[in-house]
Amino acid sequence: MKVLAAGDHFVRNNLIAEALRHDLAGSPLELAELTLPWPLEPFGKVAEVDEASDAEDALIEALDGVEVCVTQMAPFTERVLAAAPSLRMIAVCRGGPVNVNLRAAQARGVQVCSAPGRNAAATAEFTVGLMLAALRHIPQAHHSLAVKRSWDATHFTYDRCGTELEDAPVGLIGYGAVGSRVARVLAAFGAEVEVYDPYVRGDVHGMRATSLDALLSRSRVVTLHARLTPETQGLIGARELALLPRGSVLVNAARGGLLDTGALCDALDSGQLTAAALDTYEQEPPPAGSRLFTTPGLVLTPHLGGASRAVARKAARIAAAEVARHVRGEPLAHCLT
């Protein structure tokens, strides 16, 4: 069986190869490799698929005779799939196959699987880190001492010092793999956790809000964990931000499209929000003239929430396990076609 490892500079080909050789020990395996440029070059929309590396021609050439491809960013467009008649399976090393035209894959009998939950722990930890950075003004204090070389005592004044998570009412919008982990961590801090997720049934780690508006009106800190769908696009805008208690904090390490950036900057300028921390953006990277770079009170990171070495290894292992099931003729655990 010929397998293409189409890795990148995060889920590297050596990690994919190591996982495949472990799970397919004893099976004949011809392994080809293609290295895609992400994250050194940003992903984007390629033909009809979202969030892929713009490498259709290179991928078509590498897929010659390939039955299985393990990848994170390869653009499996209708054009690519039509040029790969030997292909039977695509194992995507990410939570969802947004780089694959599922309709075209299904029409050609190509199985597509993904690696849900691969970065849930990493993103949850990063979210709490952003929250602490925004609440306690850690980046500003670092900048004043390490960059300006100034021991700025005003950071210790009542007006400038931050607030604690203990006893703070924290609202979580979304209670999936990431949100549920964040809720457990916040409970350990002693926060008063409230959750809004209309798609979740059963117990949640905290009080369940009856509506989004109710959660916002009671939360001093809000963190976003919803999926980006047509229904959640622009979920938090000017109206929603105005419902928060004045001086609140917002964190978004989910998807940039959930939040109206202009409304966020307005809320920070007016003091409706005292701080915000973002890891994802409506446009990535944000344009050079974005208000995000001049609005005070913002902590900004370049979409790093799911970036840990453990995530890269875990993604490769999940994908390799699916390939092994394919080889043995077993049902896939995370099949989408």
Q: Which residues are catalytic?
A: 255, 284, 303
- 319: CB partners within 8 A, 6+ apart: 16, 19, 70, 91, 92, 93, 113, 115
Angle between helices 309-328 and 120-136 (to 10 degrees): 160
Q: Within 10 Å of residue 288's Cβ, how many Cβ atoms?
A: 6
Beta-bridge partner residues of 208: 195
> What b/e readout covers 254-271, taking b as 16+ CB neighbours within 10 angstroms?
bbbbbbbbebbbbbbeee
CA distance 68 to 93: 13
CA distance 241 to 315: 36
